[in-house]
Amino acid sequence: MMQNIIIGQYVPGQSFIHKLDPRAKLLTAFLFVIIVFLANNWLTYALLGAFTLIAVFVSRLPLRYIYNGLKPILLVIILTFLLHVFLTKEGPLLFDFGFLEVYEGGVKQGVFISLRLLFLIMITSLLTLTTTPIDITVGIESLLGPMKKIGLPVHEFALMMSIALRFIPTLLEETEKIMKAQSARGAQFSSGPIKERLKSIVPLLVPLFVSAFKRAEDLAMAMEARGYRGGEGRTSIRLLKWSGKDTTLFIILLMLSVGLLLLRS
């Protein structure tokens, strides 16, 4: 399951989304997180779903790859749906299972919240799948450039975000290796009583933290050996250029926002 986590990974390509300015993709992901909360009925969620599916299609990423990447969060989405179904007491009563009652409002709310979570994860995953960590760093630094005037360490913050994204797949890969090593020694991570499986996680965390700190130390030494001294006075080899494609993306996002406002009940 660890290798199916797609957040933080990059897939090379020549699609429309791959060629967009990283600043445009960052702003789009940020604005999408905001406008997704404007949806409150079936039409608005259908509009968000259409936008998300079109974005996935335009990215030319393998659908099986994206599907496998969503598998680890399906349990969270299903649990979110069930919690709303059985805990929200709104609207007409649909089913009565004794101590469990299912209302129309609970089912509706569960579907909406689950779809909202799914759309957010897919759009943010597309950001990292179609943008290299270096481009994300340069994009964040460019967008936060005006904050340098108030003393905010923009370059260091952007670098920190980029390293964090890049280390997600690395740590997941390390976790999988440790789990296989522990399983070979008799640890049970997917079978047996829950109490025993929880106990087996403790021996997993210790070597994982040790490995993470070791990688962080190696990275710090490598940066220091190459003369890294922060962002002051540094220039970038990557020059960002805003094009008509980026403007088109913002027009589409603006039309999506207007559509959501018009279709709200």
Provide Rg for the chain, Cα atoms: 22
The domain limits of the chain are 16-131+241-263, 153-226
Stretch among 32-41, 106-115, 128-137, 250-259 having the lowest mean pLDDT: 128-137
Taking the C-alpha atoms of residue 188 and residue 197, their distance in angstroms, rounded to an integer, is 6
Confidence of residue 46 (pLDDT cuts 50, 70, 90): very high
Q: What is the pLDDT of residue 7?
A: 63
Block residue for tokens 């469990």: 100
Question: CA nearest 46: which of 119, 104, 127?
Answer: 119
Q: What is the pLDDT of residue 192?
A: 61
Taking the C-alpha atoms of residue 81 and residue 88, their distance in angstroms, rounded to an integer, is 11
Confidence of residue 109 (pLDDT cuts 50, 70, 90): confident
At 93, is the secondary structure helix, strand, or coil? Answer: strand
pLDDT tens per residue, range 65-89: 777 777 778 888 888 888 888 888 8
Block residue for tokens 């660890």: 2
pLDDT, greater one: 195 or 106: 106
Q: Are 68 and 4 in contact (CB under 8 A)?
A: yes
pLDDT, greater one: 179 or 251: 251
pLDDT, greater one: 106 or 97: 106
Tokens standing for residue 32:
């999408």
- The reply to whether the predicted model has a pTM over 0.85 is no
